[in-house]
Amino acid sequence: METGSPYSRHGAPAPLVTAAGLTLVEGLVTVMYGIGEAVHITSQRLVMGVTTSVFFVVYGAAMVLCAWGLNRLLTWARGPVLLAQLILLGLAWNFRQGDTLPLAIAMAVPAVVVLVGMLVPSSVDALENGPPDRR
């Protein structure tokens, strides 16, 4: 029985491919935020603007790299992605009241989907054992 997703040449199960795809989107959005910060740096907040921009671009690029790793069933990608999703859930919890509720939902829903996609038994097995051809 074939359990791999048609979207992964490496035999990743569909829930893990979904998690990798959402992680890729999160990473790209984070990179775009960092670039947006860089564009709006003013002389009054030069150091803060530069460090914030660099942080978000590097963090987003790391998430893109981890998404690639998840899709290729590389075990090193699991920890950083899990940690990033837990951080997003914490941020969503802080934004849950008032006018920021839509932002909280926009952060929490993908984070939960990624966590579920990574923690279903087929994904855990695939990350632990690698693709079927490496077993």
Mean pLDDT by 10 residues, the chain (135 residues): 57 92 97 94 89 96 97 94 96 94 95 96 89 58
Q: What pLDDT sits at residue 6? A: 59
Q: In the numeric block, which tokens belong to residue 23?
A: 């992680």
pLDDT at position 132, please?
60
Q: Model pTM greater than 0.85? A: yes
- Lookup: tokens for 79: 């920890």
Amino acid 134: pLDDT? 56
Q: Distance (Å, rounded) from C-alpha 132 to C-alpha 121?
A: 15
CA 122, 119, 102, 41 dihedral sign is: negative
pLDDT digits (tens, 9 = 90+) for 9-25: 668 899 999 999 999 99
Specify the pLDDT at position 129.
84
